[in-house]
Every structure is written in structure tokens, then in C-alpha cells.
Structure 1
Amino acid sequence: MRIQLTKYGLFVAALLLAGISASAQQSGSSNKYIRKGNELYNKQQYTDAEANYKKALEQNAQSAIGSYNLGNSLYQQKRYDEARAQYANSLKEAKKENVKSDADYNIGNTFMENKKWEESIKSYKQALKINPNDEDARYNLAYAQAMLKKQQQQQNKDNKDNKDNKDNKDKNKDKNKDKDKNKDNKDQDKKDQDKKDQDKKDQDKNKDQNKDQNKDNKDKDKQNQQQDKPEPQPSKLNKQEADRLLQALSQEEKKLQDKNKKVKGQVVPVEKDW
């Protein structure tokens, strides 16, 4: 089943009255340009047809048929906004219901071309209100409603995806914050541990230095003690001389004892440590 996009039927203006009045002459000139425009339109010469419809409207600006057909020529050139304006003019000036219904229908088509589904739905409903038997308007209405529903579903899906993406970004952001915080904590723990290790090294180093200092002090004390202790002096007498000296002392002591027994214990001093 096809989508009916545009009603291409063109209204051929008929001369309603014959006369010599100015209004009749204007109407005749306007209709002449409309007929010429219709010929060109049917040959798919839409630009030239547009020019003739505009000339018709210059002669009679209230021509509903001139505005409607101009709208069709603009539609064929994909100038949808301009075409919609001419259909609106036609709708305002039209006296016949079929012209009004077709104008609403084609206004709906211009909205559909721009994927403005809600606006096109309103126009098709208005066309059906005027002409309930317009099956093309009924079909386009159903199509626009289906497209609007699809668009809304896609928007809901996009909104959900965006929300999920935002939630995921927030979660990742929180994870990154926690990760950074953990990293900072680890870095601080490492710094604290490095400081402890350095303090221990410094303590060990101080202990070693103290130990070395104590050892040096002990060595110095020992050295000082050794320096304070008298060194043994070598004997100035040889063995024979010592023996003679002892013998002489022994004889002298005996003499003193014999001479004065009251004197006791007086001896000739001798050098120590010999």
C-alpha cells in the first residue's frame, strides 16, 4: 500500500460571468494565467508554472485556486515551507469544501516531508473532518501516527541509554575517585613505611656508630691503662755483681747486729722489681 503524498489535481478556473466590468476582466486575466500554469505543470515544468500562478495571483490575490496550484508547483520543487504558506492562503480563501479538504491534506504532506509527525497528524485529522471519505488522508494519518510512535520509542530508548551512560560515568567517576583515594592511601602508606625504614636504618647506623665509639673508647682506656702501668726496667747488675752485693750486705748486717742489737730491721734499700 503506497503513501499518498500529494494531490496533484489542479482546479481549472471557469468564467462564471461574462461582462465588461473591471472585476470580470481581472478574473479573466487571472484564469488565463492559471490555465497556462496548469499546462506547464502537467509538462512537469514547475518553475514556469510557478511564474504563471504568481501572475494569476497578481491579478486576483483572493484566488483560492491560484494559491492552491502555486502551492503544488512549490511542493514539486521541494520548497515545502513556501508551499505550506500557499496552501494556507488557499484554505482561507476557499469556498468549496473539497478545496479546503485538499489544502489541509497537502499541508499535512509538507509537515510529513519534514518529519513533523504531530503537525501532520493534526492536518490529516482536519482534512478527514471536512471529508471523512478521503482514504488517502486516512492512510497518511495512520502512517504519521505509526512514525510518531516509533519516534517516541526511539527517544525513550535514547533517553534511557543516555541515563545509563550518565549513571555508568558517575559510577566510573566514583570508582576513579576511590581508586585515586586508594592510590593516595597506598602512596602515603609507602611514604610512612619508607620513613620507618629510614628511621630504623638511622637507628641502626647510630647503634653501629655508638658501638664503634664504645669500642674506640675501650681501646683507648686499655691503651691508657697500659701506658699508666710501669714498664719493667732491665736490671743494671749482672748476676755475679748481684751475688757479691748480697754477700756484702749480709756481712754488713751481721756487723750491725753484733754492734747494736737494739737496732733492728735497718737494711740497705735496694731497687724494686729486679
Structure 2
Amino acid sequence: MKKILFIILLISITISISAQKQVRKAVRTGNRAYNEQRYGAAEAEYNKALKENAGSKEASFNLANTYYKQQKWDEALKEYQHYLTLENEDETKMSAAWSNMGNTFLKKKANEKAQQPMMQGGQPQQGGQQADNLKMSMDAYKNALRLNPKDEETRYNLAVVQKMIKDKEDQDKDQNKDQNKDQKQDQKDQNKDQNKDQDKDPKQDKQDQKQDQNQMSQDNIQQILQAIEQDEKDTQERVKQAKAQERKQKNENNKRQNKDW
């Protein structure tokens, strides 16, 4: 009986070791594909690793980054959340996940303009989702900074998003005031003849100001996203340089080992 139990235990250990090797292999293959910007292939490898081991932190975090690179915002957010259920020890890595979630919400915000249904006259319809994505981006950045207060890039992004939210709140207040003023002005205008040669309609001025504010918010988003993309490019370049240095070192070691003394 003891012999049978020992054999079963040995088989279980062997299977576990084999599965771990497959997970490591899939993650390494996925990392190579990711560094080569073959994000579809990287996604497949990370999913393969997670199928073998759903608790693989590296596979989960890297899969979320792969979704992000493919502009699969909802999938990326879901996987970052999954990663945060796995990682509860390394605060720096947890902070990075929250920061990436903030970037993802910001990306969703930047793409809302094209996705919003259009009203008559070609004006985009305003909805609650825009403000929600900004707020969720802000909350994610705050969570990241609680875990890693030294992350200055996240701190900068948070400050910009907070200003955008405040600007939007001020804009909404001004819009309500303008609507009340417009109603009073319309009543006055009904009792007066309109002069076609009069100066520019004040309503048009207000509309232009709102458009300028929207453009400023959009420009702020683009500045953050450009900074994020530049940081990603710099990281990839550092990885390439490190690998090149590693290959050079290996070649030099091989030459010393094979040298005919």
C-alpha cells in the first residue's frame, strides 16, 4: 500500500514539474514575441501558460500588457484586475498594474470621441461614460501612488487627469449658466429686429469657447499618451541593449573557453 502511494506521489510530482516547464516555456516564447511587437502571438503564448497555471503572475501581467498594445481596453482592464488578485506581496508590481489600468482608462477616454453617437448637426452626444473613465483613471493612479509614492510619472498623470476633471466640472457649470442666459436673451431677441450685419453672435462665441475647452482636454490626454508611448519605447530599447550586451558577453566567454593556450 505504501509503495502504491509513493508511486502516485512520484507521478504527481513529475506531472507538476512538467507543467511548470511548459508554463515557463510559454512565457519565455510570449516575451520574445512581445519584444518583437508580435502581440497576437504573445497573447496566444500567455494564454497557453495561464491554461496550464491560472496563477502565473508573470503570464497574467504580460497578457494584460499585450491586450493593451492591441487596444483591447476592456480585456486589458479585466486581466490587470485578475493579476491584482494573484499579486498581494510586491507593492511595486501592484502599483505598476494600477498605473497601467489608469493608462488604459485614459486610452478609452481618448477613443470615446470617435465612438460617441452623433447628434443632428454633427455634434457628439455627451454621456456619463466620458466622466466615468476619467474618474476611474484618477482612482487607479491614486491606488498606484498609495503603493509606490515615488512613481513620479504616475503622479504627473494623476495631476493632469485631476485638472481635466475639474475643467469639465467648471465647463458643465458654465454651460448651465449659459443656458439660462440664452433663454433670457432669446426672450429679448423676440422683441427686437435682428440685424444681419451685427457683430458675431455671443452664442457662437460661447460655443467656440466650449470647443476650445474640449480641444484643450483632448490635447492634455494626447500629451500623457505620448509620454507613456515614449516611455514604452525607451524600455524596449533598454531591453534590446541589455540583450545585445548579454550576447556579446557570452561570445567573449566562449572565445576565452575555446582559446588554444
- TM-score (ref. length: structure 2): 0.55
SS state at 2:41 partner: helix
Q: Distance in 2 between matches of 1:66 and 1:152?
A: 40
Are 1:64 and 2:60 matched, yes or no?
no
**Other-structure match for 1:22:** 15
Q: Distance in 2 between matches of 1:31 and 1:166?
A: 67
Q: Distance in 2 between matches of 1:25 and 1:164?
A: 73
> Given that residues 64 and 89 in structure 1 are in contact (C-alpha distance below 8 angstroms), is that contact kept between their aligned partners in structure 2?
no
- Aligned residues, how many? 157
- Structure 2: gaps of 5 or more residues: 1-11, 110-132, 193-261
**Other-structure match for 2:73:** 80
Letter in 1 for 2:25: K
SS state at 2:106 partner: helix
SS state at 1:114 partner: helix
**Other-structure match for 2:108:** 114
Q: Distance in 2 between matches of 1:167 and 1:82?
A: 49
- Structure 1: gaps of 5 or more residues: 1-18, 177-274
**Other-structure match for 1:131:** 148
Letter in 2 for 1:25: S
Which structure has the greater CA radius of gyration? 1
Letter in 1 for 2:162: Q
**Other-structure match for 1:151:** 168
The residue correspondences of 1:170-189 to structure 2 (distance < 5 A) are 171=187
RMSD between aligned residues: 2.1
Identical residues among aligned pairs (%): 39
The correspondence for 2:86, drawn from 60, 82, 93, is 93
Check 1:147–1:25 CA distance in 2 against 1; reply closer, same or farther (3 A cut): same
Are 1:41 and 2:58 matched, yes or no?
no
CA deviation string 1:49-97 (max 9, x = no partner): 1111111111111112211111111111111111010000011101422
Q: Distance in 1 between matches of 2:14 and 2:179?
A: 69
Q: Distance in 1 between matches of 2:182 and 2:23?
A: 62
SS state at 2:29 partner: helix
Are 1:163 and 2:180 matched, yes or no?
yes
Structure ranking higher in helix proportion = 2
